Structure 1
């Protein structure tokens, strides 16, 4: 049986993407950077790091982004556990996401990438 979880991405709030990207490229050992906007935020995916800059105070702080093959089993497990869905499934630039608060108070974004 294979896991529905494909990867975990660390969320990192930075003051300035242009200043932060070179360090995270070197740390991740990659030259690939994928930049994209989300609402009022500017984001950059650099290896296992999701850098974001902008008015972060308008958003719930997330522990990490969890890349999943399908949101269905995640929603099922969250429902069974009594977790709080903070953001229902919605389309974002790279797929479909939800944000949930676990019973221990931690907040995770779950993202099903667009095929």
Structure 2
């Protein structure tokens, strides 16, 4: 059996919300954690809590992404997406939690990928 770890570290469900403050108690309870990382990216305010990524103020483009996938090596993703007939829509570029990109897979799904770095909790 191959002992090499997967390039995929975690898959975050993207949840558009009207208010992070109002929504957070439910997602903390569902994730069974109060360890929350709140940050902004452009006009969007985000809260990363367990397997959830809450998005406040997200436009239609941000809402259309199927998931945010945390990876060890973003370059592996770039090669895989392009080799499979997909397109890079945004990035690779620096983001608040590591290098990121948005890709359209050959099947039409749009996914955000973020290269894992140790998050700063707030």
TM-score with structure 2 length normalisation?
A: 0.89
More strand by share: 1
Deviations 1:26-51 (A, max 9, x none): 01100111100110010000110000
What does residue range 42-53 of structure 1 map to in structure 2 within 5 Å? 42-53=45-56
- Residue 73 (1) aligns with residue 41 (2): no
- Residue 10 (1) aligns with residue 39 (2): no
* Residue of structure 2 equivalent to 1:35: 38
Q: Give the unaligned 5+ runs of structure 2.
A: none
Please provide the CA RMSD for this pair.
1.3
- Residue 59 of structure 1 and its aligned partner are, at CA, apart by 3.5
Out of 93-102 and 55-64, give the one that drifted further: 55-64
- Residue 63 of structure 1 and its aligned partner are, at CA, apart by 0.6
Output the CA distance in 1 between the equivalents of 2:22 and 2:63: 24
Contact 2:47-2:55 at 8 Å conserved across structures: yes
1:113 to 107, 112, 116: 116
- Residue 113 of structure 1 and its aligned partner are, at CA, apart by 2.1
TM-score with structure 1 length normalisation?
A: 0.94
Output the CA distance in 2 between the equivalents of 1:61 and 1:19: 22
* Residue of structure 2 equivalent to 1:54: 57
Deviations 1:57-110 (A, max 9, x none): 353611111110001111111111110111021111110000001111111111
